[in-house]
Structure 1
């Protein structure tokens, strides 16, 4: 049982670290700005972001496996990354997560710190939309880690 817990912990940590790097450093400016657009270009920008993010997570998991000897079975690995990728794409299309926040009574928090009308700026970087976005992703990283380490 200890090995199973250690495997889950190693997988989750790798996914979490890779998520942060992939979501903030690997994602291009064009992807970040365009992925929520209600167009084919927006859907493609989001899909490309999710692909580069999945590759970043795969590289982190491969590094953990190489250094620690952690066995990774192909089917759970692919399934876990697919679940994570689909959930990430869903949230990063923007309107989907915003609608969910409204439906569950988190709309005011989602809009917290949003750009001021007519300015395009934000008074600070910590917005409710960003907090809900990242917590959504981290929750799905947990699910993906469960699948991959099962």
Structure 2
């Protein structure tokens, strides 16, 4: 197998592992409290930015741990020999951008700046906002998988 095909296999496996772990971390492991609270901001009536930051940080910690376990176990099971420094860089990118997006205010601003305000609001929080959130996460996970798969 050539170096290019080996790199492609590591990328594909890292992406599959990170994507599976992301779905698990976002939908099963994240607590109801974290899901409801992580986007809170003081300017919204009765909400707390501090509570939002704490909930988002706790969610991202478990989300990132889930991705780390998946990458470690998958790398061992598949014999990928992913470099720990590359995996750490990929997880750092995933965690930081996940926190940024899940605070919600940032993606809403990007949606407004790109003319996607109506789509963002479409169908409530599990409509356009959720679709744009997931598209953002998938894009970043692709980049993170390239990083993790590079040796």
Higher relative contact order (CA 8 A, sep 6+): 2
Deviates more, 1:106-115 or 1:15-24: 106-115
Q: Which residue of 2 aligns with 1:83?
A: 93
2:38 to 23, 35, 39: 35
Give the TM-score, by structure 1 length: 0.90
Q: Give 2:25's match in structure 1, choosing from 18, 22, 37.
A: 22
Question: TM-score w.r.t. structure 2 length?
Answer: 0.90
Q: Which residue of 1 aligns with 2:59?
A: 49
Q: Give me the CA root mean square deviation.
A: 1.0
Q: Which runs of 5+ in 1 are unaligned?
A: 116-124
Instruction: Count the aligned residue pairs.
Output: 140
Is the counterpart of residue 7 in structure 1 residue 10 in structure 2? Answer: yes
4+ aligned runs moved over 4 Å, structure 1: none
Gaps of 5+ in 2: 42-48
| Deviates most, 42-51 or 64-73 | 64-73
**1:122 — aligned with what?**
none
